[in-house]
Amino acid sequence: MLVDSHCHLDFPDFDGDRDDLVVRARAAGVTKMVTICTRASAEPTVRGIAEKYDGVYYAVGAHPLNVGEAPLMTVEELVAFTEHPKMVGIGETGLDYHYDKWPPEMQQESFRRHIVAARETGLPLIIHARSADKDVAAILREGYEEGSYSCVMHCFSSGRALAEAALEMGFYLSMSGVATFRNADELRAIFADAPLDRVLVETDAPYLAPVPKRGKRNEPAYVAHTATVGAQVFGITTDEFSKATTANFHRLFSKVPGA
């Protein structure tokens, strides 16, 4: 039993075989998937996908690279989305300074609004962090000092300091296909030092396909390859790793039935 805790099933990469993709995921033992909405305008499409397929849930947020496309989502708007029974998380949000697309101040304001929405709803915050570790840690900690909330560092591939800051606040680290790459020894070492009960697995499909699918379009079924590497990192069987990360997923995404 596996869960793909973060994928993007609304992306056009899947328009030709979305039904088959879900069938393949189930055949690979992936019983649940969370498809992530990265801009408010996509919410109806993402919601429709979650409604169509058993075992598919969704989250809503403004990706930091999308924040300037429309007025920033308000806390009230984010909270309103959570009324849907299959809407289970806030995000993805966070900071991305790798591309000089939107001002840091705009990204940070959006990020803070998502934190407030996560705190008010009790749903987990889903974080994207790229080339912004110090500011991400500072804003997460600032928000946590104002009131606790739950959170996952999606597709974690940042430095050890951000991992330790997140774990200190009781947050989760999500392992993606990046952890299977040959040059990812440092990242695997960070995960090896993390508590197993704070680790999730994901694909971030259609991106970052794990070895041996690297370079191809990623899809939820491939989370099984990441789980195999995760088990090696922790020195346990793949079955044990799968059961542990699935239990972690249900603890964090408590709105999803079937824990």
Residue 105 pLDDT greater than 90, yes or no: yes
Contacts of 48 (CB under 8 A, 6+ apart): none
Average pLDDT over residues 114-123: 98
- Give the model's pLDDT for residue 259: 61
Banded pLDDT at 197 (limits 50, 70, 90): very high
Residue range 125-148, pLDDT digits in tens: 999 999 999 999 999 999 999 999
- For the chain, give the number of residues: 259
Banded pLDDT at 52 (limits 50, 70, 90): very high
- CATH number (3.40.50.2030, 3.40.1360.10, 3.30.420.10, 3.20.20.140) of 2-252 reads 3.20.20.140
% of the chain surpassing 70 pLDDT: 100
Which of helix, strand or coil describes residue 110?
helix
Q: Are 159 and 179 in contact (CB under 8 A)?
A: no
Is-cis flag, bond preceding 104, omega within 30? no
Average pLDDT of the chain is 97
Banded pLDDT at 39 (limits 50, 70, 90): very high
What are the extents of the domains in the chain?
2-252
Sheet arrangement for strand 87-96:
2-7, 30-37, 56-60, 87-96, 125-130, 151-153, 172-175, 199-201
- Give the model's pLDDT for residue 12: 96
β-bridge partners, 166: none
Nearest to 125 by CA among 60, 51, 193, 35: 60
Residue 201 pLDDT greater than 90, yes or no: yes
* Dihedral sign, Cα of residue 177, residue 178, residue 183, residue 184: negative
Residue 191 pLDDT greater than 70, yes or no: yes
Please name the amino acid found at residue 101.
K
In terms of Cβ atoms closer than 10 Å to its own Cβ (0-12, 13-18, 19+), residue 44 is: exposed
Residue 100 pLDDT greater than 70, yes or no: yes
Nearest to 90 by CA among 67, 56, 116, 124: 124
- Give the model's pLDDT for residue 66: 97
End-to-end Cα, the chain, rounded Å: 12
State the pTM of this model: 0.97
Residue range 207-258, pLDDT digits in tens: 999 999 999 999 999 999 999 999 999 999 999 999 999 999 999 999 999 8
Contacts of 98 (CB under 8 A, 6+ apart): 130, 131
Q: What is the 3-state secondary structure (H, E, C) of 113-148?
A: HHHHHHHHHCCCEEEEEECCHHHHHHHHHHHHHHCC
Residue range 142-187, pLDDT digits in tens: 999 999 999 999 999 999 999 999 999 999 999 999 999 999 999 9
**What distances in angstroms separate CA 76 from CA 12, 81, 82, 156, 223, one per listed residue?**
29, 9, 10, 28, 34
Q: Are 209 and 235 in contact (CB under 8 A)?
A: no
